[in-house]
Chain A
């Protein structure tokens, strides 16, 4: 379905009717630089994934006009926001038009009475919070990619927030948004139709449908977001354990404690601690008997955080925790965004330092299944490593998802020596992803809690995970996108179109 060169000229001619010349990019570097995301990439097949044209619209109307043109000409459209996703949502698989929304980064309205802000989806959360700071407000959507991911991408992936246990995740924080459908029609979607309504029982709950579709159902262009008082106090204790089991038990107890200011807890397993000790120069050295770590975070007013914090400290102590002190706690928690991107090198088995990409696979796993999944996942990566130095085990995290501790974002970090990727190595990796996803399903979990599950490998198991629900996805896709132009090739949705499936 990739459009041919002569067709590109036709597309560009059509685009010129709705966009200025400088909003249409056709240069090779422009296109290649919008073909990748942080997840390791079959770089030797980069050329297969570039868009034919890139556009930089500045308004909902322009986005709609571009999508209408694409739909009329049957040209693929791929939305791209921050391009920080890990499941290839922003990577074009069939060429076509890439809609880069970064120029839609305005703050349109700040409503202090109802405590909302309406923004273009091309705005970054950190920049938005810099804008909000003088009002004593903040928007608490806090992914690890907080300094560079954009609100629109958060909607398209239904992103995860590190402090979601306190404030909710993207789906809870986005009240409503303007959305361009695959036909180019513009709709407003929220709970009900309300622009600033957080809970409605009117009609189907469409808002969730248009979040997390990885760009297969259209493009969000302007969003109204829920705001909170900028926290007066932040408490982020790091506790050390001499074994994983105690750390695991402690994490569960913290999450179940029902402390209102509790924003989340993270469990670092032994491989993660070993990795940090070995290769993260920023990691504050710990005694060798530290084998697992738990970091909790609390946000709120000073008086409530103090009281809640005491309770959490008491729980940790009961589980054998050793508090690592204010310096380590504050320093390491402050680094939570940066650290995820820090490991730009890994090691071969004989210890040689080489440039490596960071990749993390994630799943939603119930608390009770965590130890078993952790063990099974490490074994899968150990198997990769046994076969080649292309892969390195960088350990695992488990993040609390909500305030009750029912399930966890469970993540394994894998170093990949991207310079050495070829078809064999890539196939090995894709197979490993399939096995990792299988473990999640076998434990009653979901393939992804955070990044989405539409990439090569894990996506193969999505129909199995969703069952009849996957057929509903196909029905919806076929209805809303009759010509399969929106981000085609993702999520096995080609199956909605008999001639392509």
Chain B
């Protein structure tokens, strides 16, 4: 190898003998040269704070893999950055902060509030060249969502709280469910209210887990799901004593609480002999497929079934035959935790395409990497105005299409999307509800005040843009130049 010659003069043409480190054919003097390296290794700056040191030790290499690249492909797909144009909130800044902390330049107090500005949608990870091309071959895959969760946990552990997060989690602990109804209490005594009159047994091998938002606020979703399952003859029960899945607490950094909730739920499943959990909420799906296996290891031997995948399978098998036409022109919002985090985007489309009468204007799921409702990752708790702005932007994309309805598959997204939809006269419905309608099921339940009001309205005219009061074609026709932020 040319560049190993000790006298500095290449003996062969370096162009003709490129060097491949680590090859067995490399000359033995290589090892000697490595030993006498002039620089390596450098002593790390010792950090006095033990918690910060442990955090940095865990994340420093991952952070350097982003920092060292220094490219910011993530930036233009991040829903928070698209809205705020503040580089401090960019995914790459979240990694750079770790380097800053390692170097003793930044403390957890300096950075904690910035980490609020993330919905944990995962678009940044997908767009990162590191992930796109290298996969995880060297375990260097960019893991921004995990870094954000860990940084929030470090903050909580260090006594640096975000007031909204703190009170949200305190109320969640008090009620064993998230305070999704504000001052109106929720809890064990009301967690099954959504199922009134549906005659669903308690416990059993298969149980349906209903997230807090759906159980207490958007009850039309679990009611639709339960009745579709019943129509298909699928046996299931409700949990003996269901607590919040703990996922939001984990997302906000309240790790002990998240774990305690998980342990409670696990004990309840064990007590009722449960082997299978049906999940309608993408956030729960993340908690049960990512968090719980971390908590319990091999002991977590339950099967986790995502309802929308189950319904797609049932339609494929002919167990469900949607035959009532639905008179709407829709587009589909890929929930972040399905499309971006889990790669689930085909099945929802299968369900929608099976519904007769529906005009479906699809938006490519990759284009949707930069879309988000803004409701995830606790953002809405600390920065509801930012969530609202992200939802409004999502609806403006829908508004450019010839549709009257935006369909989502995530109850958490549906509240802010519905509010934003009201401004542009677009209904926001849930995919499970829509399927139920096409199966002739009138599910009942609530879509919240705005959703119920809109749903009760009588619509006339052909489905699509014409049905909207505003009827504006949006920016795509060029009449109103605006911000180019990701609509294609």
**Which A residues lie at the B interface, using CB under 8 A?**
25, 27-30, 32-34, 36-41, 43-44, 46-47, 56, 82-84, 100, 102-103, 105-110, 112, 122-124, 126-128, 130-131, 133-135, 145, 147-148, 244, 269-271, 273-275, 277-278, 280-282, 335, 338-339, 341-342, 344-345, 347-353, 355-358, 371, 374-375, 378-379, 381-383, 385-390, 392-393, 395, 416-422, 424-425, 428
Contacts and interface: CB of A to CB of B under 8 A. Distances in A.
B97 A350 contact: no
Contacts of A355: 61, 64-65, 68, 140
Interface stretch (B37-45, B295-303, B418-426, B464-472): B37-45
A421 B98 CA distance: 17
B317 interface: no
Given A148-B71, A390-B40, A418-B68, A271 B140 contact: no
Nearest to A101: B85
B72 A382 contact: no
A420 B40 contact: yes
B99 to A, nearest CB: 7
B34 A353 contact: no
A150 B138 CA distance: 31
A32 B105 contact: yes
Contacts of B3: 379, 381-383, 385-386, 393
Interface stretch (B216-224, B329-337, B476-484): B476-484
A208 to B, nearest CB: 27
Contacts of B488: 130, 133
A245 B173 CA distance: 71
Contact of A389 (B10, B13, B39, B97): B39
Interface stretch (B126-134, B155-163, B230-238): B126-134
A350 B38 contact: no
A40 B71 CA distance: 11
Nearest to B476: A134
Contacts of B21: 278, 347-351, 392
11 contacts: A33-B93, A36-B70, A43-B103, A106-B481, A127-B486, A274-B19, A282-B133, A356-B68, A375-B14, A419-B42, A428-B38
Nearest to B33: A349
Contacts of A105: 85, 483-485
A147 B73 contact: yes
B140 A345 contact: yes
Nearest to A371: B15
Given A130-B486, A386-B4, A28 B37 contact: no
Nearest to B10: A379
A29 B111 contact: yes
Contacts of A107: 481-484
Interface of B: 2-4, 8, 10, 13-16, 18-23, 26, 30-31, 33-34, 37-42, 60-61, 64-76, 85-88, 90, 93, 96-97, 99-100, 103, 105-106, 110-111, 114, 127, 129-130, 132-135, 137-138, 140, 475-478, 481-488
Contacts of B88: 25, 27, 29-30, 33
A contact face: mostly helix, strand, loop, or mixed: mixed
A381 B14 CA distance: 11
Given A33-B93, A38-B70, A350-B31, A123 B133 contact: no
B476 A33 contact: no
Given A39-B70, A84-B72, A342 B129 contact: yes
Contacts of A39: 70
A127 B484 contact: yes
A342 B34 contact: no
Nearest to A418: B68
A43 B75 contact: no
Contacts of A424: 38-39
Contact of A375 (B8, B15, B481): B15
Contacts of B114: 29
A122 B18 contact: no
A344 B462 CA distance: 53
B contact face: mostly helix, strand, loop, or mixed: loop
A28 B107 CA distance: 9
B484 A40 contact: no
A33 B31 contact: no
Contact of B18 (A106, A274, A357): A274
A476 B71 CA distance: 33
Contact of A420 (B10, B41, B135): B41
Contacts of A344: 65-66, 68-69, 130, 134, 140
B103 A390 contact: no
A95 to B, nearest CB: 15
User: Which of A29, A135, A371 counts the most chain B CB atoms within 10 A?
Assistant: A29
A476 B475 CA distance: 43
Contact of A33 (B97, B127, B477, B484): B97
A275 B90 CA distance: 31
A358 B478 contact: no
B106 A28 contact: yes
A103 B85 contact: yes
Contact of B20 (A29, A47, A274): A274
Given A32-B96, A351-B22, 16 more contacts: A29-B110, A33-B93, A36-B70, A40-B68, A46-B105, A130-B487, A148-B72, A269-B15, A280-B134, A342-B129, A348-B34, A349-B26, A357-B70, A375-B14, A382-B10, A421-B42
A148 B73 contact: yes
Nearest to A146: B73
A123 B14 contact: no
A491 B416 CA distance: 50
Nearest to A47: B105
Nearest to B22: A351
Contacts of A133: 488
B67 A82 contact: no
User: Which of A43, A106, A127, A344 counts the most chain B CB atoms within 10 A?
Assistant: A344
Contacts of B105: 28, 32, 46-47
B183 to A, nearest CB: 29
Nearest to B66: A344
Given A375-B13, A420-B40, A278 B20 contact: yes
User: Which of A37, A133, A417 counts the most chain B CB atoms within 10 A?
Assistant: A417
A444 B66 CA distance: 37
Contacts of A244: 15-16
B134 A393 contact: no
Contacts of A342: 129-130, 133-134
Given A147-B76, A420-B39, A422-B42, A350 B34 contact: yes
A419 B133 contact: no
B2 A382 contact: yes
Contacts of A84: 70-72
A137 B65 CA distance: 36
B14 A271 contact: yes
Contacts of A280: 133-134
A352 B106 CA distance: 30
A-B pairs with lowest CB-CB distance, top 6: A351-B22, A382-B3, A38-B70, A131-B484, A282-B133, A274-B18
Contacts of A269: 15
A40 B20 CA distance: 23
B194 to A, nearest CB: 40
A417 B86 CA distance: 29
Given A127-B486, A341-B69, A281 B134 contact: yes
Given A387-B38, A418-B64, A56 B483 contact: no
B93 A29 contact: yes
